Amino acid sequence: MTASDLGSGFTRRRSNARLWRAYATQPVYVPDEARYILRTLETGGPDRLLAELERLSSIGSPWASAMLGFVSLLPGPNGHRNPVRTLELCRKHADAGDPYALFICAWAHLYGGDHQRAVAMMKKAAKAAFLPAALDLSTFAWNNSKTSPTVALRLLRLAEQAGHKGALVWRCVYYKSGRVGFARQLIGYLLSPPARLRYALSLWTNPCSCRVFMFPTWANVPLFRVKPRRWSGIRIPGSFGC
C-alpha cells in the first residue's frame, strides 16, 4: 500500500465521520466493505440511505438487515421501539451465525421480554469475536442481580483486550457504583474523565467502527436527524445507563 493510498483512505474516513456526525444521533457499526453506502447520505440524506438499506436487505445482505434492525430498535418519531420488525429483518441471518445480526437480535429479544434468549444470542455474538457483543455481554452480567460483579468485570476485560474503546468507560461506571469496593470506587472517579475523553475522540474520528459501537439504551430520539447539523457531535451520556 502506497502513501497515496493511505492518505486517500484517511481522507475518506474523515469525510465519512463528518457526514455521519452531521446526520446521526448515535454511532453505528458499518463494516469496511459497506462504507460506500455512506455516500447515499451525501447525495440523498437519510431517506435515500434507508431506501438503499431496504433494497440490500431484500436481496439478503446481513449487514444491511442488521443496520435496519438497529434503526428499528431505537425510538421512532412516535417514541416507540419496534423489536418485532428487528427480528423479522435479522432472525434468519442470526440463525446462520452472522455476529452483527446476533447482536441486534439479542437486544430485540431483551426489549421483547425474552432475557434468556437475549443472553444466549449475545454470547454467540461475543464468541464470534464481535467486539460490541463482548462489551454489552458484560452489561448484561452487571445488571443481573444473580451474577457476581466479578463476572461482569472479567467479561469487560475481554472487550478491553480486544480493543473496544468504550470498555474503560464502562469499567469506570462499574467502579463508581461502589459494588466492587471503596478503593475501586475512587479509581473509577479518577479515571472517568480521561476514559470518556479517549472514547469521545475515537467516536469523533470513526463513529462507524465496531471499536466504538455499543447499543445505546439511553437513546430517546431516532437515529437520523431530518436536517443535517453543520457542527454536531454524537452525545456521550453522563452515566452510560445500562
**Average pLDDT value for residue range 74-81:** 92
Nearest-5° Cα angle at 185, 27 to 216: 15
The predicted pLDDT at position 220 comes to 92
The predicted pLDDT at position 132 comes to 96
How far is Cα of residue 211 from the mean position of the Cα atoms in its chain? 9
Indicate whether 13 pLDDT > 70: no
* CA-closest candidate to residue 41, choices 225, 239, 235: 225
**Coil, strand, or helix at residue 224?**
strand
The predicted pLDDT at position 72 comes to 96
Q: How much is the pTM?
A: 0.88
Domain borders along the chain are 14-128, 130-213
**Average pLDDT value for residue range 51-63:** 96
* CA-closest candidate to residue 135, choices 165, 113, 106: 165
The predicted pLDDT at position 10 comes to 52
- How far apart CA 127 and CA 6 sit, in angstroms, is 32
Q: Which amino acid is at 126?
A: A
**Average pLDDT value for residue range 190-206:** 94
Per the rule left: phi > 0, alpha: psi between -120 and 50, beta: everything else, 60 is left
The 10s digit of each residue's pLDDT in 92-147 is: 999 999 999 999 999 999 999 999 999 999 999 999 999 999 999 999 999 998 88
Q: Is the Cα torsion angle 143, 216, 64, 71 positive or negative in sign?
A: positive
